[in-house]
Structure 1
Amino acid sequence: MMLDAPLPGKNLMLAACRGDVHNDHPLLHSAKELAELHERRLCACREQADEIDHERARLVREIDYWVCVHLPPSLGAARVHTETIGAVVDRLGQFTACAFAALASGSKGELGDAWERLAELAIGYEDLKDEVSVGRRRLPGGP
């Protein structure tokens, strides 16, 4: 099955994590929600954090289901990735929230580390998106 809509690239995904959704792609809306949840989690009590984590898990499952339904079959020799797209998008949301928290705190060392982690993960997401979209990489539990 071919993709009805391609997986969004890293720039659109990062913009969505910042709250700027450019189109109606379901993964972008989920990325925005995940980043918002991670932002709320930074200052949440234990009970609130548990509720937030439950909602994050639901969104990750929705992303993974969408990807599984819309992916072309992977090639027979495709290597398996260690994480699903949903897990990577969840971490993009987490790293975005942490980067903006570091920006707000004014800690230069923390800030540099947070933005570097986010940038590296965004590149990793883009590579994974490209490989999965053409069937060179498969996802855990996926086709």
Structure 2
Amino acid sequence: MFKYCKIYLKNCPNFLSKYTKEERAKILASDKKEVNLVQKKLRTTYANTDSNISLPSSSIQTKMVSYIGWPLSTKDIPTFNSLLLRMTISNGFSFSWIENEETKEFFKFITPGLVLPSRRKLSNSILKEATKKSNNK
């Protein structure tokens, strides 16, 4: 899990802007024992900003940071593709929406490591697979 957090932090613009190169290197080199110290520092940093960002208490719920940047497993990719296709159809989007720069920026913001399929893949292989599954049901 720490591996995925580090991957996320390397691409996070807020992390890059808040810390110097040396501080980032130290944080990214942290082991499990130092993670609690980093989390406390992040809570303090965000508590002192004007943003509405709040990090939940670990005793109440799992931290969102644990899930951000989590790469999709091979098992999850078909589910993601199916949901993406359903979203496209239910909203009446053309398949080209997926290659729109704003769309790419949005998904990169949510999950930096996520690779979106091309419009051709969405309209061909993903659509054909969904049609097969639907016809089999």
- Settle same-fold status: TM greater than 0.5: no
Larger Rg: 2
TM-score by length of 1: 0.29
TM-score by length of 2: 0.30
